[in-house]
Amino acid sequence: MTTFLSRITTGGLLLFGCALAASAQKDPKDLYLDKCSACHGPDGAGNTAKGKKLKVKGVKETAAKMSAADMTKVVQNGKGTDMDAYGKEFNADQIKGLVEYYRSLAK
């Protein structure tokens, strides 16, 4: 009986761990839509109520003025009081993917 219970507990932990890993590995588009689109808009134009209030620039203007490295720093560290820092929430690959996805919206 103990062996059976330990297998169930171990299996449950494995399933829980897999669920956490799956949520942590959302694709860049999903991360962008979840965390960024409220201000930057789903198309990157910044044409949302919150984006207009904060005077968010569109992706075409931003991508023309900022390098991917500069954008990565903004995503990691935030910007002023209006943009949250995501350096502790997302790993380096996720941030890189977010920046690449955002920049792709300019095309």
pTM metric for this prediction: 0.76
The answer to whether the CB of 57 falls within 8 A of the CB of 83 is no
CA–CA separation, 88 and 1 (whole Å): 42
3 state DSSP class of 79: strand
CATH of the domain at 33: 1.10.760.10
Domain containing residue 46: 26-104
Residue 1 lies in a domain: no
Residue 74 lies in a domain: yes
The answer to whether the CB of 59 falls within 8 A of the CB of 45 is yes
Residue 12 lies in a domain: no
Mean pLDDT computed over 9-15: 47
Residue 100 lies in a domain: yes
Tens digit of each residue's pLDDT (9 = 90 or more) over 33-67: 999 999 999 999 999 999 999 999 999 999 999 99
Who wins on pLDDT, 22 or 39?
39
Number of domains in the chain: 1
